[in-house]
Amino acid sequence: MKAWRVHEFGEPQDTFVLEDVPPPTAADLAGLSMDLGGWVPLRADRGPHQDWVIMDMRMAALALPDVTMAQGRYPVPVGRPYISGQEGVGVVTDAAPAWQHMLGKRIVAVTIQPWGSLAPVAVGVGMIFEVPDAMSDEQAAGFLIPAHTGYHAAIRRGQVSAGERVLVLGAAGGLGAALVQLSIAHGAQVVALVGDERKAAFCESMGAAAVLHTNPDWQQAVRDLSGGGFNVILDPVQGQLGASARSLLLPNGRHVLCGHAGGLIPHDPDFYLYNYTLVGVDLGGYPPDVMREYHNEAHEALGRLMAEGKYQPKVEQVIDFEDVPQAMADLTNRRSIGRIAVRLPN
């Protein structure tokens, strides 16, 4: 099969190569363990990873981790070569014993390197859900990671609640759009901080007020809109922008750190003086039974919100498989809005 693979470190436009590789099989997975960076040789402390399905892919989604992995800026090392892609929708052709009931079903799943979703056949792990008939392949391809991470960040860890004032950074991105919608769905007033007018209009269409951080007075503009400050900052960006936003918190406010699109810098050691809470968010790293409980709880809640029209996967662009490098350049240069879905050649 032809897959988008990465061997080197660098920009995706330079490092993504379309290569012929054998499709993954159950025999390839037998005796492998799972680590934060992906599938690894069997480790005595983990045992074989038994939580997988092999899927004929229909569509995949692109996301910032595809960029940061290629650049070598992803928080955990990822072995090379690997097939890029973190999630997608497809039909199950083989499965570990616990997932046999999914055979033949159209599912969404997270994919972990080296068997990412930018290939006609991929390996889904951990978060695996059947797709309802009403959900298109486009929507399904870009649903899972933004929605579940957004829920974990805004609702479970961030505790956003009715009447609170919430600032969302990177609000027009894949995860950002989920954070905006989930906060509004829970009764919060949302201000979106974004980099251009197109992104501002997109956030306004979801019901947020929007401010451009390219405006030298953005902090004042945001403070004015909030009526004095925020209860919560939802921050998939961090870096200098995240650090500058923190002073907009009200006392007892929560700064929810759920990504690093703008890079990672040390936290101000004086932050303890201001009665803020820093909240860490990573949708991983819990024991398997807790993860499953969290996935199921979020999936049910998200299903309810979608049925009520309060949440929608925001897939704003659909591209062909051969156009992945150009789309990766758009993602790298912050030109994308919401998620980009990729049609797979099956």
Question: C-beta of 21: minimal distance to ligand NAP in Å?
Answer: 25
Q: By CB under 6 A, is residue 34 in contact with ligand NAP?
A: no
For 5-25, b/e burial (b = at least 16 CB within 10 A) is bbeeeeebeebbeeeeeebbe
One character per residue 65-104, x = contact with ligand NAP (rule: CB under 6 A): x---------------------------------------
Please provide the DSSP assignment of 258-299 as one string: ---TT---PPPGGGGGGT-EEEE--S--S-HHHHHHHHHHHH
Is 110 one of the binding residues for ligand NAP (CB under 6 A)? no
CB of 74 to ligand NAP, least distance (A): 7
Contact with ligand NAP (CB under 6 A): which of 127, 131, 175, 249?
A: 175
Shortest distance, CB of residue 177 to ligand NAP, whole angstroms?
Answer: 8
- Among residue numbers 177 through 216, which ones bind ligand NAP (CB under 6 A)? 194-195, 199
Identify which range of 124-132, 224-232, 277-285, 287-295 contacts ligand NAP by CB under 6 A.
277-285
- 49 is a site residue for ligand NAP (CB under 6 A): no
Q: Binding of ligand NAP at residue 38 (CB under 6 A)?
A: no
Among 96, 123, 184, 261, binds ligand NAP (CB under 6 A): 261
In order, the DSSP letters of 3-32 are: EEEE-SSS-HHHHEEEEE-PPP-HHHHTTE
Smallest gap from residue 325 Cβ to ligand NAP (A)? 16
Report which of 69, 67, 87 is spatially closest to residue 79, judged by C-alpha positions: 69
Shortest distance (Å) from residue 49 CB to ligand NAP: 19
* 101-120 burial: b if 16+ Cβ within 10 Å, else e: ebeebbbbbbbbbbbbbbbb
Identify which of residues 175 and 342 has a Cβ nearer to ligand NAP in the complex. Answer: 175
Tell me if 64 contacts ligand NAP by CB under 6 A.
Answer: yes
- Edge-to-edge strands of the sheet including 16-20? 16-20, 2-6, 82-83
The yes or no reply on residue 118 touching ligand NAP (CB under 6 A) is no
Task: Give strand pairing partners of 317.
Answer: 340
Helices (H), 72-190: 137-141, 144-150, 174-185
Part of the chain binding ligand NAP (CB under 6 A), chosen from 63-71, 116-124, 294-302, 305-313: 63-71
| 3-state SS class at 220 | helix
Pair of tokens at residue 161: 């609640």
Interacting positions 120-159 with ligand NAP (CB under 6 A): 145, 149
How many Cβ atoms from other residues are within 10 Å of residue 219's Cβ?
16
Q: In whole angstroms, how far apart are CA 31 and each of 26, 44, 250?
A: 10, 11, 51
Please report whether residue 254 would count as binding ligand NAP according to CB under 6 A: no
Kindly state the greatest CA–CA separation across the chain.
59
Using CA atoms, how far apart are residues 310 and 202, in angstroms rounded to an integer?
Answer: 16
Span from 99-107, 227-235, 280-288, 291-299 in contact with ligand NAP (CB under 6 A): 280-288
Decide: is 11 part of the binding site for ligand NAP (CB under 6 A).
no
259 binds ligand NAP (CB under 6 A): yes
Told to check if 281 binds ligand NAP by CB under 6 A, we report: yes
Pairing verdict, β 339-343 and 189-194:
unpaired
Triad 166, 168, 170: Cα angle to 5°: 180
CB of 75 to ligand NAP, least distance (A): 8
Please state the closest distance from residue 333 (CB atom) to ligand NAP, in A.
Answer: 8
Residues that bind ligand NAP (CB under 6 A): 63-65, 145, 149, 170, 172-176, 194-195, 199, 236-237, 258-262, 281-283, 331, 334, 336
